[in-house]
Amino acid sequence: MNLDFSIFTDNWPDILGGLWLTLELWLGGSVLGMVLGLTIATVRQYAGGVVQRGIAAYVAAFRGTPFLIQLFLLYYGGPSFGLVLTPVQAGLVGMTVYSSAQFIEIFRAGFQSIPPGQIEAARMSGLGRMQILIHVQLPQMMIIILPSMVNLYVIMTKETALLSVIAIPDLTAVLNGIGSATYAYAETLFALAAFYWILLECVTAAGRWAERKVGRYLVR
């Protein structure tokens, strides 16, 4: 075996920049997607028919098409609709919208897991919708939806590898660039795979920790 690790020490500023961008877009897109998903799922509970159908169409569109095509449409097709974005902006919007559609479904399953009678009791106790969400629904559904949420965060780490196709200098793009410039394909691709694997292990560990914490009241 003949591996040359000097390409990492020679290019570390670029690699660090790519790494940072990947982490930023992953976490930024997923967290924004989660907030957007929770907002839409909450509105959906109280919405009338037209809004319901609109949300259903949104979910169907972004869950039913490949992320790659959504990215292309957003970045290359966007200008046709007057939407001109830099690659990084398009990446962030893409990650947010794509993950929000998945988060909507996760939160919907969570809402459905709470018996309606508990919501009625909260309404009769005078609680408003926001209070019901924070004090009755979220604390109980967390334990049920945490595994799927962690899973989605894991999936989103891997989706970031696609961002390089719209010229975002993320870790995948940087390492690929180095690989083709130096012919050190094996080293760069191994490094890339190792990075994603380590990130994924960290997310999973964080998820396990959160599950223990949230599930405390059920262990009695």
Residues near another protein, by CB under 8 A: 115, 117-118, 120-129, 131, 135-136, 139-140, 217, 220
Q: Nearer Cβ to another protein, position 86 or 113?
A: 113
Q: Under 8 Å CB-to-CB from 39, ≥6 apart: which residues?
A: none
Q: Nearer Cβ to another protein, position 69 or 134?
A: 134
Among residues 36, 102, 107, 25, the alpha carbon closest in space to that of 64 is found at 102
Cβ 170 vs Cβ 160: under 8 Å: yes
Six token digits for residue 134? 């924070």
Q: Is 136 helix (H, G, I), strand (E, B) or coil?
A: helix
Six token digits for residue 42? 């909450």
CB of 38 to another protein, least distance (A): 18
Q: Nearer Cβ to another protein, position 3 or 50?
A: 50
CB of 172 to another protein, least distance (A): 42
20/168 Cα distance (integer angstroms): 12
CB of 113 to another protein, least distance (A): 12
CB of 217 to another protein, least distance (A): 5
CB of 214 to another protein, least distance (A): 10
101/144 Cα distance (integer angstroms): 18
123/111 Cα distance (integer angstroms): 16
Handedness of CA 167, 204, 41, 66 (dihedral sign): positive
Q: Nearer Cβ to another protein, position 63 or 213?
A: 213
Ranges assigned E (strand) in 51-178: none
Q: Nearer Cβ to another protein, position 121 or 205?
A: 121
Six token digits for residue 215? 């599930």
Q: Nearer Cβ to another protein, position 113 or 180?
A: 113
CB of 89 to another protein, least distance (A): 38
